[in-house]
Amino acid sequence: MKRAEDGRKSRLADAAVDVLGHDGVRALTHRAVDARAGVPQGTCSYHFPTRNALLTAALERIAELDLAESEGQELGAVLAAWAGSHRTRARFMLMLDPQARRELGDAAARLADGFVELAEKLTGSRARARLMIGLIDGLLLDELTRGTVGDDERRERIAVIERIVGMP
């Protein structure tokens, strides 16, 4: 029974990410998530009773999928996968919306710290890790707003990031 409930929560969180990535923070409602997930009305409210719980579930799902997608991949492959995706757009929506950011509070900080720790393993320094994440976020935002770049340009951008943060 627990496995089915976890599957339903993941499905709802995926639907929440989809709503955020395609329609924005203001469109994220329990009803919209139910509709996107194709479940009976009230299902999302049952599993995530508050807006904060729903926002947190969406952000945690984004982080879970981003981490899984980056596992064992080169930076170029990760950026190519993340660039232009509705999941990346959803993450930016959550981080840039002042009200959503306030509601997420500790959850956002905790998940961001997890990415910093991962980047620190790659760069050997917390400061370089934060710089690398800032540069990657900037590139992703650029691609989301101005259009996806070609493979050659992405490789060049990654090489610049690696030089800046001192990666081997």
Q: What are the extents of the domains in the chain? A: 2-165
Average pLDDT over residues 20-45: 96
Instruction: Work out the percent of the chain whose per-residue pLDDT is above 90.
Output: 46
Cα separation of 165 and 116, whole Å? 13
Q: Which of 87-96, 112-121, 159-168 has the highest mean pLDDT?
A: 87-96
pLDDT score at 83: 79
pLDDT score at 69: 84
- Res 22 pLDDT > 80: yes
- Res 1 pLDDT > 60: no
pLDDT band at 25 (very low <50, low <70, confident <90, very high): very high
2-165 classified as CATH 2.60.40.10: no
Of 40 and 71, the structure prediction assigns the larger pLDDT to 40
Alpha-carbon 98 to chain mean position? 17
C-alpha torsion 3→65→86→83, nearest 10: -160
- Res 2 pLDDT > 80: no
Average pLDDT over residues 12-31: 96
pLDDT band at 87 (very low <50, low <70, confident <90, very high): very high
- Res 85 pLDDT > 90: no
Structure tokens at 10: 């993941």
* Mean of per-residue pLDDT scores for the chain: 88
Question: Which residue type, as a one-letter code, is found at position 71?
Answer: E
